[in-house]
Structure 1
Amino acid sequence: MRTFLDADQSGETGRTAVALAAYRFPHGDAPSNRLLQLARSATPVGGTTVVVNDWPPDGTLPPTTPDLPADVRLINLLPTGGGRWRRWWRRRTRSRRMLRALRAAGISPRHVDAVHLPLGLWDLATWAVLRAGLRCPITVDVTERHDPAQFAGGRLGPGFLRHRWAFFLAGRLADRVIAITHALERHFVRAGRATLVVPPQIDVTAFAEPRPASLDSGLRLLYAGSPTKKDQLGVVIAGILSLPPGPRARIHLVIAGMTRATAVRTSDLTAEHLDEIGDGITFLGRVSRDDVLAELSRSHFSVLVRPPAGYAQFGFPSKVPESLAAGCPVLLNHTSDLARHVVDGDEGIVLGGCEAGDVRAGLERALQLDDPGWQRMSAAARRRADDFDYRRWRPAVSSFVIGDPAQSVDAPPVDRRLSRS
């Protein structure tokens, strides 16, 4: 077993939490960012969170000097060669390899006060290994409840069955559950689990001031991410195309995260619609997180349209807090817990539904804004982003994961004085 440890773990004092992951941590994708901010907020005061990460065998390697706060330490299990069965065996033995890596780093299991991990790593074998090897509270972070239509094979698809089996086990075996929405909270409370709602967390100080061009030069929209079978981009294009030629020419949509060919193959966009919109859309392909943040700072609105399906009600799109923190108001319809955080006319423009006509109506309102009106919305978005800052959540999350969950049922009031310097 090859491991990479960012710092000597010997001599640690204070309480210790362990977080398990299998991502390009710390800045590889949305799940990686979720884990980073959760690790920061779960770290006990004066203590440490040790992230044990099974780096994915995707041809990449972890950075030699990961950018992490002082109280979050990292142990990377480096990928090794091998074929399909070798990879399968590594997944089956992941939890045992992680515990061995902890011991090799000088961290005694009896000194671990709590462990938390995402739902994607949760199964019977993991529960058994963690229960026997650490004997501390186990918290499962649940961020989604997928629908059958999101998987090849539907209800009988292996991916869907694995997901729902892990979901079932979280409601029966986890000591505690962190839920990303109140809909998930209600499910796990009914199952008898101690549950804390923690929406996507961010670090508000990581976002620069917005600097889009004047609205006199046009309205710049941004979609960042991979829609797969979650987000509706087709209705956004249809809404733009339904506008008269004059207003339509003032709108430019930037899509960061995929190419045109990928969009046609994996999303609800069609080549015919893209041909019709022509120069009104730009595909940036896969870009870094820093590039996404730069695009947010240059955009007037980010766009997000989802149907009222089960997955949309149970999940919480992490792109919304990031857009708010960048001072980029959102043009969206309410699903999930979004109505708690995005008020129509303040932090964004709320659509009446998820159809092309709803998008058109929202775009017409956006086109009527002048620069001072947009700046007021941008300022409101940045204020609202403090709801998601990990500093706000740290007392509640660390107490819930390590202390008595009965004493941690909500987060403290938002501190609007957080510095962005």
Structure 2
Amino acid sequence: MQVKGTILYVIQSAPRDNAPTKHAFAIADLMRDCGYEVIFLVAGIEPGSNGGCCWDYPVTIPNSLKLTKWQLIAKYHERMTSCRAYAAFKDKAKEVSPAAVIYYGIEAELAAKVSTWCRDCDVPVLVDETDWFEPHFRGDIAAWIVERSRSKRVELVDTLADGVIAISPFFRDYFELICKEHGKPQVFFLPPLNRNGDSIATIAEGVPRKRTVTRFFYAGSPAGGKDNLACFIKAIEKLSDAMPSRPVIDVVGVSPEEAENLCTGLSKVNGVHFWGRRSHDRVIEMLRESDFGILFRKPELYARAGFSTKFAECMSNGVPMLCNEVGGADAVLETGVDGIVVPDMSEKSMEDGIKVACSMSDCELMAMKKAALDKALQLFSPEEYRDSFSLYLGSLISR
């Protein structure tokens, strides 16, 4: 395929084995399939050299941003001004002559400067938008500065871009309303995409059986306060011996020691297993052995605006979700068909959700697993978006 042009993808942090990297690389896969070369530029402060990493795409980490923990003044100044990051951006843009620029997760000051440069150079600028947190000071001044800056970016800078890649229905609706009033940004809804090997094709029927255990699964880091595990574990403790099939949960990413701080008094509940960190391959193995993934979040802005990759990861492996209703990713589920949605995180809702899951027959559970996978193959497969996304990029670049 002839290369149509180069897209410069500006990201906040160096690629790692985490959800933001998978998200950005999955979109880069799609852009490559549409005929574009993709080059990444890291725009955030990086403590080390990150040398020797094997990434799927060319990644530039500017030397000027490799600041040590002792360079506090330089770090503070950079967070407030993005001077070093912007200089690095201009150098890279001059080198590669991008057909388009996309930024993801960067701070407001840099986003504004990048947008101005793109406008002056007649290069379309797009936003890859995934998060929107209301700034709250929790004792960490650096984290608060970043949080406030990114909120400012969504409200004041993203609206001036030529295009927005919106991860959630919330962001799609938010920016489409702005587009109707001002003629831009043009919006493309793109939920978390699977990369090669992330999804299974079919679900093996297996030998009919009467299960005695219903396995729930969570992988992540609830310590940040986004996800709530304690309410679900309390419900398991109460219902453990009262269900047709006994509820158990595997929690990956939280060690038994960390669990006691996270879920005080609940870390040793029967049927609750904390496994600490595991390799990605092992996490997928454990996931595929489970019956339901879980995700419980507060009905706040971050939950409505984001779209947890847990939905894509679980459903794409034939594991339906049990979650609460927040007006975010839960909106894609048809409760009772391809997942279970409870109203809130109350004790009654948790218990009701577990009762529904643990009372399902094996045939009913298998039907829900197949429905979850069928929806995932439509919603999270890059092939479903290739043609429309190619037209979208082409229209912005030609304009």
Name the CA shift for 1:252/1:287 in 2 (closer, same or farther; >3 Å).
Answer: same
Q: Which runs of 5+ in 2 are unaligned?
A: none
Among all aligned residue pairs of Structure 1 and Structure 2, give the percentage whose two residues are the same amino acid: 21
8 Å CA contact 2:198–2:313 kept in 1: the answer is: no
8 Å CA contact 2:10–2:102 kept in 1: the answer is: yes
Q: Which moved more, 1:203-212 or 1:367-376?
A: 203-212
In the alignment, the residues of structure 2 paired with residue 125 and residue 271 of structure 1 have an alpha-carbon distance, to the nearest angstrom, of 41
In the alignment, the residues of structure 1 paired with residue 303 and residue 162 of structure 2 have an alpha-carbon distance, to the nearest angstrom, of 26
Residues 55-79 of structure 1: CA deviation (Å, up to 9, x unaligned): 863558366443x3xxxx3123276
RMSD: 3.3
Name 1:182's counterpart in structure 2: 169
Cα deviation for residue 42 of structure 1 reads: 3.1
Cα deviation for residue 367 of structure 1 reads: 1.4
Counterparts of residues 8-19 of structure 1 (less than 5 Å): 13-19=3-9
Is residue 77 from structure 1 mapped to residue 61 from structure 2 by the alignment? yes
In the alignment, the residues of structure 2 paired with residue 159 and residue 101 of structure 1 have an alpha-carbon distance, to the nearest angstrom, of 24
Counterpart AA for 1:323: C
Name 1:272's counterpart in structure 2: 265
Counterpart AA for 2:151: R
Match of 1:121 among 94, 100, 106: 106
TM-score for the superposition, normalised by structure 2: 0.82
Name the CA shift for 1:385/1:63 in 2 (closer, same or farther; >3 Å).
Answer: farther
Is residue 38 from structure 1 mapped to residue 38 from structure 2 by the alignment? no
8 Å CA contact 1:202–1:388 kept in 2: the answer is: yes
Cα deviation for residue 224 of structure 1 reads: 1.0
Counterpart AA for 1:16: T
Is residue 138 from structure 1 mapped to residue 125 from structure 2 by the alignment? yes
Counterpart AA for 1:299: S
Match of 2:246 among 250, 262, 268: 250
Counterpart AA for 1:338: A
Name the CA shift for 1:246/1:125 in 2 (closer, same or farther; >3 Å).
Answer: closer
Counterpart AA for 1:161: R
Counterpart AA for 1:124: E
Name 1:221's counterpart in structure 2: 216
8 Å CA contact 1:218–1:251 kept in 2: the answer is: yes
Is residue 289 from structure 1 mapped to residue 273 from structure 2 by the alignment? no
8 Å CA contact 2:259–2:274 kept in 1: the answer is: no
In the alignment, the residues of structure 2 paired with residue 170 and residue 81 of structure 1 have an alpha-carbon distance, to the nearest angstrom, of 27
Name the CA shift for 1:298/1:24 in 2 (closer, same or farther; >3 Å).
Answer: farther
Match of 1:162 among 124, 138, 149: 149
In the alignment, the residues of structure 1 paired with residue 86 and residue 33 of structure 2 have an alpha-carbon distance, to the nearest angstrom, of 23
Counterparts of residues 1-400 of structure 1 (less than 5 Å): 13-25=3-15, 28-43=17-32, 45-53=34-42, 57=46, 61=50, 64-66=53-55, 68=56, 73-77=57-61, 80=66, 82=68, 83-85=70-72, 86-87=74-75, 92=82, 93-101=84-92, 107=96, 109=97, 112-118=98-104, 120-129=105-114, 131-132=116-117, 135-149=122-136, 151-152=138-139, 157-191=144-178, 192=182, 193-203=185-195, 205-208=197-200, 216-227=211-222, 228-243=224-239, 245-247=241-243, 250-265=246-261, 269-275=262-268, 277=269, 279-386=270-377, 387-400=379-392
Aligned length: 378
In the alignment, the residues of structure 2 paired with residue 295 and residue 60 of structure 1 have an alpha-carbon distance, to the nearest angstrom, of 34
Counterpart AA for 1:113: A
Cα deviation for residue 130 of structure 1 reads: 5.6
Counterpart AA for 2:38: T
8 Å CA contact 2:39–2:59 kept in 1: the answer is: yes
Residues 53-108 of structure 1: CA deviation (Å, up to 9, x unaligned): 45863558366443x3xxxx31232764633335556663123224434556xx2x
In the alignment, the residues of structure 1 paired with residue 343 and residue 169 of structure 2 have an alpha-carbon distance, to the nearest angstrom, of 22
In the alignment, the residues of structure 1 paired with residue 210 and residue 75 of structure 2 have an alpha-carbon distance, to the nearest angstrom, of 51
Cα deviation for residue 20 of structure 1 reads: 1.4
Name the CA shift for 1:169/1:401 in 2 (closer, same or farther; >3 Å).
Answer: farther
Counterpart AA for 1:162: S
Cα deviation for residue 323 of structure 1 reads: 0.4
In the alignment, the residues of structure 2 paired with residue 90 and residue 215 of structure 1 have an alpha-carbon distance, to the nearest angstrom, of 60
In the alignment, the residues of structure 2 paired with residue 182 and residue 95 of structure 1 have an alpha-carbon distance, to the nearest angstrom, of 31
In the alignment, the residues of structure 1 paired with residue 338 and residue 397 of structure 2 have an alpha-carbon distance, to the nearest angstrom, of 32
In the alignment, the residues of structure 1 paired with residue 347 and residue 47 of structure 2 have an alpha-carbon distance, to the nearest angstrom, of 38
In the alignment, the residues of structure 1 paired with residue 137 and residue 397 of structure 2 have an alpha-carbon distance, to the nearest angstrom, of 33
8 Å CA contact 2:260–2:266 kept in 1: the answer is: no
Residues 189-216 of structure 1: CA deviation (Å, up to 9, x unaligned): 3433322222222237433466899662
Q: Which moved more, 1:161-170 or 1:126-135?
A: 126-135
Name the CA shift for 1:151/1:252 in 2 (closer, same or farther; >3 Å).
Answer: same
8 Å CA contact 1:141–1:177 kept in 2: the answer is: yes
Q: Which runs of 5+ in 1 are unaligned?
A: 1-11, 408-421
8 Å CA contact 1:17–1:43 kept in 2: the answer is: no
Cα deviation for residue 137 of structure 1 reads: 0.8
8 Å CA contact 2:40–2:59 kept in 1: the answer is: yes
In the alignment, the residues of structure 1 paired with residue 27 and residue 117 of structure 2 have an alpha-carbon distance, to the nearest angstrom, of 24
